[in-house]
Structures are given as C-alpha cells and as structure tokens.
A and B are shown apart, each in its own frame.
Chain A
Amino acid sequence: MLKLIGSRLATAVPSLIGVVIVTFMLTRVLPGDTAAYFAGPAATAESIAEIRTKLGLDKPLPVQFVDYVSALAKGDLGSSLSTGQPVAAEISARLPASAELTLAGLILALAIAVPFGIMAAVKQGSWVDHACRLITTAGVSLPVFFTGLLLVYVFYFKLGWAPAPLGRLDVFFSAPETVTGFYLIDSLIARDFETFRAALAQLAVPAITLAIFALAPIARMTRASMLSVLSSEFVRTARAAGLTDTTVIITYAFRNAMLPVVTTLGMVFSFLLGANVLVEKVFAWPGIGSYAVEALITSDYAPVQGFVLAMAILYVILNLLIDIAYGVIDPRARSEA
C-alpha cells in the first residue's frame, strides 16, 4: 500500500507544479490593475507607479514568479486586497464550509444515484430503467443555480419547510467551537444537538441542489458497470450455485461494479466543486468558491492563487483516498502498485 501512495504522490508533484505555474500566468493576465486599485480612487499617475514599485509589480515576470514561489514555500499566500485578510487565514476559515457542503452533496448523490443505478441495471429496459434515466438527466439538465433558486422558492418561500438561505447557521446560533471546521461534526463533538439540528437544516437544501446536479454521472456510471458485471461469468456461477438474488446482486455484482464508480468520484468531486461556487452564491454560503469568484471578478489574484492551490492539494488528497479505497475493494490493485 505504501508503494501505492508513493507512486501516486510522485505523479502528483508535476501536476502541482503545473498548477502553480498556470495560476501565476492566469492571474497576471487578469484585466484589473492591482496597483491602481491599491493607490485608491483619487490617486495620480505617479502615485500609482510608486505603489507598483512598492508591490514589486514592475519587476519582470520571472522575478515576480521567484518571489511568489519563495513566499509560497514559506507558507505565505499573501493577502487579499478586497478583504485585507491574509489569504491563508481566509482559506482555512472558508475551506471547511465548502468541503462540508460538497461532501454532503456528494454523499447524498451517492445515496440516491447508486441504488438508482443498480435498480436500472437489474431491471434493464423496464420502466425503472427509463425512470432512472429521465430523472437523473432532468437533474443535470438545469443549471445548478436555477435549481437552487427554485428549491429556495418552493421549500423556503412557499412552504417554509427550509430555513432562511442565510449561510451555514441561523443568525441566532453561534458556531460550534472549531475542531474540524465542519459544523455538523463540531456540534456533535460539543454535544450541542440544537446547533446540530440548525446546521443540518441550513445544509439540507444547498446539499440537495448539489446532489441533484451530480446524480446523472454517478447513476449512469453505476448502471453501466452493473450491467457489465451482471453479464459476467462469475455472476452466472453464483446464480448457478443457487445463491439468493440479494447476495448475487449486492455482495457479488455490486462490489465489483463499485470499482469504476469509485474512480469517477474524483472527476465528479471536482465537477461538484465547480458547481458549488454557484450554490454558494445562491445560499450565501461562506465557502471558498464564492470567495474565489469575488477575487477573480475584481482581479485580486492573491486569493485566486491561494484558492486554486488549496483545490489542487485537495484534489491530490482526494485521488489518494480513491486509490486507497480502490485498493481496499480490489485486492488486485493492492499487489501491483
């Protein structure tokens, strides 16, 4: 297993370097002029130039890049202009919010899409199959922000079931004291079930919005892999040996079918992180996505660089987890790294 982790990290290093370079380039191309912003509205031309030298923006790009990387090595991600806070602090405060939302969305999507996929495969061609395909495709065919607003309109505005889309916690609750940064877990650790319920209520509708959007890829992949596994020879042997349907479908077919699904989870997760940006805007969720969007639009590139780096590291860790999960499920992967 260590070999597996070693080789996965070895392959991750070049892509991380790639990410650092591309972010640096991307942010330098952003239209806004940081120095002008910094110099304030009534600044004159020469005071802008003076600020630019102070910020070192007048140096040639390679030198700036070296500065950036050396600062990065020391863990300093610079500060955001729009909020003035150091980026590292903001990301560490906001990342758990986004992670909690995306993971909740993903788990919810898995809980719905995987059984859907299995039923569609087992009863192929039946109404269940078509229903599964229609529902999952419907979920993905609406832009995520529209689904979000629609859900807010129906569940909050009309029915009043959902709490106000006011971010992670009702105004009158104080955040549980941070252990993991995940309100649900922290409130459980603090045994504060009232806050837990409030946080869960706030999380429900945005998580459903994200889940609806992720149903289609997961359901489609589960159905496809279940179909291929169900037609494989060892399933026929299991049936010939008289094992019950549930054993055949769940313990034999399903566990094998989960392998390709697990590998696509990486793709689905980063796909969700992207969609999460819009959901955060709709639900005023203090996540990292909306933070990056604000910074991007105002060409404030320190947070954008910090955000993308955080995402890249998250992505590498995620792939590592997927490989380990793959290794747990499939012994063949464990032997040859």
Chain B
Amino acid sequence: MTLATADTHPRGLAATLAHARYVISDNPVTGIAFGMFLVLVVCALLGPFIVPYDPLASDTAAALQAPSATHWFGTDNLGRDIFSRVIVATRLDMAIAVFSVALVFAAGGIAGIASGFFGGWTDRIIGRISDTIMAFPLFVLAMGIVAALGNTVTNIVIATAIINFPLYVRVARSEAAIRRQAGFVQAARLTGNSEWRILLTTILPNIMPIMMVQMSLTMGYAILNAAGLSFIGLGVRPPTPEWGIMVAEGAAYIVSGEWWIALFPGLALMFAVFCFNLLGDGLRDIVDPQRRT
C-alpha cells in the first residue's frame, strides 16, 4: 500500500504477536496457562536429554524409595526414577493429546460444518452417525477399538478421536447453521464462490475460536482416556513411560503407603489438563478478532 503512515495497527504476523502479548498480559490466568504450556512443550521436546536418570533403567536395590535428594519424585517398584519417567512421558502424552484432537477436529469439525451448512440429507446422515457413536458408552467404545486392534498408541489416538466425534459435530454444526444465512455468506455466494469454498474459507475461520476452546478441553480428556485404558490393562505397552499407566500402576501402592508412585504422574496429568483448560479460554481471546480492539 502506498500509505505507510505510522499506523496503530501493525500488519500480519506482527499484529498477531502483539495481540498475543497483549492478551497474556491482560488476563493473568491466560498468562499462567501459556507458561504451563511452554513448560509442557519444553519437557516434550528436551525431556529425554535433560532427565537425571534413564527412565527405563531399573535398579531393584533402590526400589520403592520415598522422594529424596537423589530421586526427587522417589522410585517405583522396579527402582526406576519417577521424576525422569514423568518428564519423558510428556512427549508421549502430548502426542496422544495433540494427534487425537487434530484427528477429531479434521473429521468431526468438517463433518459438523458440512451438516450445519448444507443441511438436508448431509445433515441427517452425519446426525445419525454421530447418534450411533453417542449411543455407545464412550469408554466401552474405546476399549472395544483398542481390544480389537491391539493396544498401540495409534489405536488409542483413533479411539479417543472416535469418542469425541459427536461432540465436535454438534458444536461445529450449530455454529455453521447460525452463520449459514449470514450476510457475508450470501455476499460470498454473489461473488461466485462455490459452496465448498465458502465453507472452508468463510465459515471455518469464523468458528475457529469456538473450536479452539473445544479442542483444548478434549486434549485433557484424551490423556485421561489413555489412563483409563491402562487401568484395565489395555493402555500403552510397558515399559514406555506414560502418565496414565504410571498412575494406574501406582494406584495399587496407595494403600500400602507408597503414595509417591501414583501421586507425581497424577499431578503431572492434572498440570497438563489444567493448562489445556485455561489455555482454551486464552486461545479464544487471541483467535477471536472481536477481542482484538
């Protein structure tokens, strides 16, 4: 553009970053959430390199030690350092959370928008499919899938995605249905956009904020789901460190007094779910232009 006046509104990426900084500083809770998210990402990326012990190395002599200077989170029944396992487990749990959410957003989100936007038969078919999945008790469906296809991480991700499919369809469908007759959608039709193009370039970006909130919640549930599966023996294969399975195995030791085995992975799980929930609201502020005054 010709005029490069000192404009109060920087353009493009700079605008988003400036706005992001603004949102973080404005709402402290969101600031904390971002801090927590950063911690999770660092643990996920650098985990294996920064941990004091090898998460898989067992040391039966030092089994079941309470938290001490050498082992900050104590050791488990095989003498493995719980602190190292909790840190290294971040990568796997974040992967489970992120991939299952991405998968369910792609499938459920798009299907929801299509059924909300096109209505008619598309709406009925997708509605019935999501009803069928809804009729299944969520957890049993996950168990069925994992039991049938084997308890690999991919199957856990697929199972979580399928469970949350109806939720995403419902949210996307109602948001798309509201915007179907909006002025700017009619305008897009006037200027020759095809229905699918309108759906992807106009409707989808506008419902991103709401979907963002939903995605952040589901990330929490994805990890809890993996933990539940581990509790009944269908979770991640040993000896891979994963919060869910560590809590499940540690749970048996609560009564006998070794509280730390289950507590620390439990706290890590809580930390992650907290972060995702608080993040959801923060993300909504950033992505939602209305707040970008």
Contact = CB atoms under 8 A, between A and B. Distances in A.
Instruction: Assess A/B contact in the complex (Cβ within 8 A).
Output: yes
Interface stretch (B3-11, B40-48, B81-89, B137-145): B137-145
A293 B244 contact: no
A296 B29 contact: no
Interface in A144-164: 144-146, 149-150, 152-153, 157
Nearest to B232: A293
Residue among B135, B138, B145, B251 having the largest count of chain A Cβ atoms under 10 Å: B135
Interface string B91-126: 000000000000000000000000000000000000
Contacts of A271: 138
Contact of A11 (B131, B269, B270, B274): B131
Given A18-B132, A30-B148, A153-B255, A297 B232 contact: yes
A304 B224 contact: no
Given A143-B244, A143-B269, A157-B255, A316 B135 contact: yes
A62 interface: no
A12 B135 CA distance: 10
Contact of A26 (B148, B220, B272): B148
A299 B134 contact: no
Interface in A1-57: 11-12, 14-16, 18-19, 22, 26-27, 29-31
Given A267-B167, A308-B137, A141 B247 contact: no
- Grouping DSSP codes into helix (H, G, I), strand (E, B) and loop, the A interface class, with mixed when no group exceeds half, is helix
Contact of A274 (B132, B137, B248): B137
Contacts of B262: 146, 149
Nearest to B170: A267
Contact of A22 (B136, B150, B228, B233): B136
A326 to B, nearest CB: 15
Residue among B129, B131, B269, B274 having the largest count of chain A Cβ atoms under 10 Å: B131
B142 to A, nearest CB: 8
Contacts of A143: 224, 227-228, 231, 244, 247-248, 266, 269
Contact of A311 (B135, B147, B220): B135
A29 B134 contact: no
A138 B134 contact: no
Given A15-B128, A141-B273, A293-B232, A275 B139 contact: yes
Nearest to A21: B132
Interface string A129-141: 0100100011011
Given A29-B148, A143-B224, A157-B255, A11 B127 contact: yes
B155 to A, nearest CB: 12
Contact of B228 (A29, A137, A144, A315): A144
Interface string A305-326: 0011001100110000000000
A296 B238 CA distance: 21
Given A146-B266, A281-B232, A30 B139 contact: no
Interface in B230-279: 231-234, 244, 247-248, 251, 254-255, 262, 266, 269-270, 272-274, 277-278
Interface of A: 11-12, 14-16, 18-19, 22, 26-27, 29-31, 130, 133, 137-138, 140-146, 149-150, 152-153, 157, 216, 266-267, 270-271, 273-275, 277-278, 281, 289, 292-293, 296-297, 299, 304, 307-308, 311-312, 315-316
Given A146-B262, A149-B254, A274-B228, 19 more contacts: A18-B129, A26-B144, A29-B148, A133-B277, A137-B277, A141-B269, A141-B273, A143-B244, A145-B228, A146-B247, A266-B134, A267-B167, A273-B139, A274-B139, A275-B228, A277-B232, A297-B147, A315-B135, A316-B135
26 contacts: A11-B128, A15-B131, A18-B135, A26-B144, A26-B148, A27-B144, A29-B149, A138-B270, A140-B273, A143-B244, A143-B247, A143-B269, A145-B248, A146-B251, A149-B254, A153-B254, A267-B170, A271-B138, A274-B163, A275-B139, A278-B231, A281-B232, A292-B137, A296-B147, A297-B147, A308-B140
4 nearest CB pairs, A to B:
A274-B139, A141-B273, A18-B132, A15-B131
